[in-house]
Amino acid sequence: MTAKIDTFLDIEPIDFANTGISEGSLKGEVAVVTGSTSNVGLGFVRAIAKAGGKVVVSGNNEKAGAEIERVIDAENAPGTALFVKCDVTKESDVKNLAKKAIEKFGKVDILINNAMNLALNGPVLRSPVSDLEQSFAISGRGVMLAVKEFVPAMLERKHGVVMYSTTQFHYHPPMIGGAMYTAGKAAATSLTMSLANEVGPYEKSGVSVFCMAPAGILREPRAVVSPDDRDLSLSGDAPRFGMPGFDGPIPPETGGIAMVYCILNAGKLHGSGISLSDALFAMEYPFPKPETAQKRNLRRLTDNELTLLFLSMGPGFEE
């Protein structure tokens, strides 16, 4: 197991033991991950690098970004990572992200759209319209800008993976993720699934487009609360947030390992979505508390069902 590196980042070593993933499984691949200077995205870039890929770290936090680049190079080899400061709502920033990635690595094979601001988490009736506008700007606009910069070259080379970090369709207590957050995520999820159809069958295009919901990833334990009670979410008196199969939240490193597994099996996921828990079950991940892990028995929706999903929210006029 890799030794923990001295850093101000709150991280643990990436461990592929008993996961079926080898450290060279993504050798030759280059990934761009937006929103990768903390938590979920940080787990993604570190795991991809550990699997042999090159990674472009992207976010607004320059101090964290520079340290992540240093740490990933120290964990793997010099020149493995590149940090590019990027606000995904700005077209000039996204174009610069693409420019820097190509200058450094020559190509981009994997695009993970992960950027979002979890603080945009309020209820409909008590949130300013500006929160919704910012949610759409980060999720919807940011995803489209990145897709337009990176996907055409993937299609030309007939090789690529595009993933969006999605979430639940709407806020439903006691789940974390309020109306403003889920609205932006829903817009970007729709864009991503539409892109999958535009790209066409994976067997012909060589490009896989899918969504993964990395629900439950968090370094620090927190409460399961509604957006109305956000001030309690990190208090010591709040009930502890625990995920099935884990003693507390899911570590970002585990989320990164699941992301690598999804990338390696991206052709099977094209035009579909998967939860983090489903990915862990698929790879036979060794859960710390297997007796509490919950496997869901779901079927893949047809394209027509997915298209009419917003019309299938309830019984309508039926009794």
Q: Please tell me the predicted confidence (pLDDT) of residue 95.
A: 98
Query: In the chain, what percentage of residues exceed pLDDT 90?
Result: 77
Under the banding of pLDDT at 50, 70 and 90, the label for residue 226 is very low
List pLDDT tens digits, range 28-46: 999 999 999 999 999 999 9
Residue 50's nearest CA partner among 19, 22, 11, 70 is: 22
Residue entry with tokens 């003693």: 247
Provide the sign of the torsion angle of the four alpha carbons 247, 251, 255, 258, taken in this order: negative
CA distance 178 to 123: 6
- Residue spans per domain, the chain: 30-311
How do residues 261-299 score in pLDDT, each as one tens digit?
999 999 999 999 999 999 999 999 999 999 999 888 888
- Output the pLDDT for position 300: 85
Give the whole-number percent of the chain exceeding pLDDT 70: 92
317 or 24, higher pLDDT: 24
Q: Whole-angstrom Cα distance, residue 68 to residue 64?
A: 6
Does the pLDDT value for residue 233 go beyond 60?
no
pLDDT recorded at residue 241: 60
* pLDDT surpasses 50 at 224: no
**Position 2 confidence tier, pLDDT thresholds 50, 70, 90:** low
What is the pLDDT averaged over residues 118-122? 90
- Give the strands of the sheet with 30-33, arranged side by side: 81-85, 54-59, 30-33, 110-113, 160-165, 207-213, 273-275
Number of other CB atoms surrounding residue 42 within 10 Å:
29
Neighbours of 86 (CB within 10 A): 29
pLDDT tens string 205-223: 999 999 999 989 987 644 4
251: preceding bond cis by omega (within 30 degrees):
no
The fold adopted by the segment(s) 30-311 is: Rossmann fold (3.40.50)
Q: What is the per-residue pLDDT across 142-164, written as a single tens digit (0 to 9) for each?
A: 999 999 999 999 999 999 999 99
Please check whether residue 24 is in contact with residue 51, taking contact to mean a CB–CB distance below 8 angstroms: yes
For residue 234, name the pLDDT band (cuts at 50, 70, 90).
very low
